[in-house]
């Protein structure tokens, strides 16, 4: 898919405190996680799962900056190997669990959902598998290398508790379970807080200022801003708070960034 196609994604900003440390981060919404989500959290912050060691999922999806890349001084994210860069910057992992499975909507004539900025992973679990093996990211040579590291991790026994005995015995099955656990963590309240002022307004627990009310009216007015056409600001039919995205892909006419370091890689 051409690079100028970007997922129209905007989420309500919420405050997330930095992790206390890489081994045992303290995160808003992190209480009362399921055991599978706890396992996913340990995988998400494990810097030993790259080759060489040093990069985790959290390196490019950092809690203190809403699970995006912490380095705002460059247009794309660093890989674990020196001088290697990704071709795009890391998108936020917040609310990613609400993106539908990637598909083509014949009625709308648009592609919808999926993960990454171009939807190339259909589901959250599929997305979790990719960075481990991407040579521009965590650079492991194969699934077996990742699974071998997890088998030797301090949390490896949790797999047997969550998935049954010998949960890591088969490489392909184990790799799928690693991704499944990470996806469970990303579905938890840690990533899906719905705690902005606007959320509280919709809950009836906050009031908008007169200026905010005017802004919302302009945002929704189809003859003026019409922002809500692509960034719905009303709860979904099932009651899910608004995510300010319709999960579609639109050509906004954004040109290639000549400063993107990916283009200068050998």
- Tell me how far apart the alpha carbons of residues 90 and 21 are, in angstroms, rounded to a whole number: 21
Q: Which has the higher per-residue pLDDT, 30 or 150?
A: 150
Closest to 15 in 3D by CA, of 60, 83, 63, 71: 63
pTM score of the predicted model: 0.88
Contact present, 37 and 29 (Cβ < 8 Å):
no
- Determine whether domain 7-100+124-186 maps to CATH 2.40.50.140: no
- Tell me how far apart the alpha carbons of residues 104 and 212 are, in angstroms, rounded to a whole number: 35
Contact present, 12 and 6 (Cβ < 8 Å):
no
Contact present, 16 and 66 (Cβ < 8 Å):
yes
- Tell me how far apart the alpha carbons of residues 226 and 210 are, in angstroms, rounded to a whole number: 19
- Phi, psi dihedrals of residue 133, rounded to the nearest 5°: -105, 0
Distance between start and end Cα atoms, the chain:
22
Whether pLDDT at 116 is above 80: yes
Across the chain, mean pLDDT equals: 90
The full length of the chain comes to 266
Whether pLDDT at 8 is above 50: no
Encode pLDDT of 78-94 as tens digits: 999 988 988 888 999 99
Encode pLDDT of 183-195 as tens digits: 999 999 999 999 9
3-state secondary structure of 89: coil
Q: Which has the higher per-residue pLDDT, 112 or 31?
A: 112
Query: Which pLDDT value is given to residue 266?
Result: 85
Encode pLDDT of 153-169 as tens digits: 999 999 999 999 999 99
Residue spans of the domains in the chain: they are 7-100+124-186
Whether pLDDT at 16 is above 60: no
Whether pLDDT at 220 is above 90: yes
Contact present, 8 and 231 (Cβ < 8 Å):
yes
By 3-state DSSP, what share of the chain in percent is helix, strand and coil, each rounded to 5?
A: 35, 5, 60
Contact present, 51 and 145 (Cβ < 8 Å):
yes
6: confidence class by pLDDT, cuts 50, 70, 90: very low
Q: Where are the alpha helices (DSSP H) in 134-258?
A: 143-151, 157-163, 171-186, 197-202, 210-220
Handedness of CA 177, 183, 189, 191 (dihedral sign): positive
The first and second tokens of residue 60, run together, are 């490019």
3-state secondary structure of 97: helix
Encode pLDDT of 235-266 as tens digits: 999 999 999 999 999 888 989 889 899 999 88
């Amino acid at each position: 898919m051409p690079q100028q196609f970007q997922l129209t994604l905007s989420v309500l900003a919420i405050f997330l405190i930095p992790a206390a440390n890489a081994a045992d981060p303290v995160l808003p919404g992190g209480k009362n996680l399921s055991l599978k989500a706890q396992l996913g959290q340990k995988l998400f912050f494990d810097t030993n799962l790259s080759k060489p060691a040093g990069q985790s999922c959290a390196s490019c999806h950092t809690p203190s900056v809403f699970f995006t890349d912490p380095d705002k001084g460059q247009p794309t994210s660093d890989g674990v190997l020196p001088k290697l860069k990704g071709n795009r910057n890391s998108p936020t992992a917040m609310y990613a669990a609400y993106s539908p499975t990637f598909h083509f909507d014949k009625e709308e004539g648009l592609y919808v959902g999926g993960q990454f900025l171009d939807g190339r992973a259909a589901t959250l679990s599929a997305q979790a598998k990719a960075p481990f093996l991407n040579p521009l990211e965590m650079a492991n040579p194969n699934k077996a290398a990742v699974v071998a590291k997890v088998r030797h991790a301090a949390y490896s026994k949790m797999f047997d508790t969550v998935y049954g005995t010998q949960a890591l015995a088969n490489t392909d099955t184990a790799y799928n379970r690693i991704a499944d656990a990470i996806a469970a963590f990303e579905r938890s309240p840690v990533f899906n807080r719905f705690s902005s002022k606007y959320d509280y307004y919709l809950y009836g627990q906050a009031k908008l200022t007169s200026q905010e009310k005017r802004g919302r009216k302009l945002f929704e007015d189809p003859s003026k801003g019409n922002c809500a056409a692509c960034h719905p600001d009303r709860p979904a039919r099932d009651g899910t708070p608004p995510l300010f995205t319709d999960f579609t892909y639109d050509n906004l006419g954004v040109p290639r960034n000549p400063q993107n370091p990916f283009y200068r890689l050998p």
